[in-house]
Amino acid sequence: MLYDKASDADWVCERLDARGIELICPHRRGRKKPPTQDGRPLRRYRRRYKVERTVSWIFNLRRLVVRYEYHDYLFQGFVQLGCLFTILKGF
């Protein structure tokens, strides 16, 4: 699970480990205990902004946020159309 610095607590990490979930988040500046992860998993955290930015661009389209379509294949078509409009907006 990718998350921000707010979840850098040992009890959060222990509870997620008990469920079999790996927490990837940067450590807080004033951390008292030694770091629990090295830099390798944090490389995935650096690319997180691309996903968040893309989702926020798609959520600018009201039809996708509200989901008016009953059938999921129609919704998927509008998601693809929204992605196409988002890409073409850059040209």
pLDDT of 63 over the 70 cut: yes
Q: Which residues pair with 24 in a beta bridge?
A: 2
What SS3 class is residue 2?
strand
Mean pLDDT of the chain: 77
pLDDT of 15 over the 80 cut: yes
pLDDT of 14 over the 70 cut: yes
Q: Is the pTM of this model over 0.75?
A: no
Chain centroid offset of residue 13 CA = 18
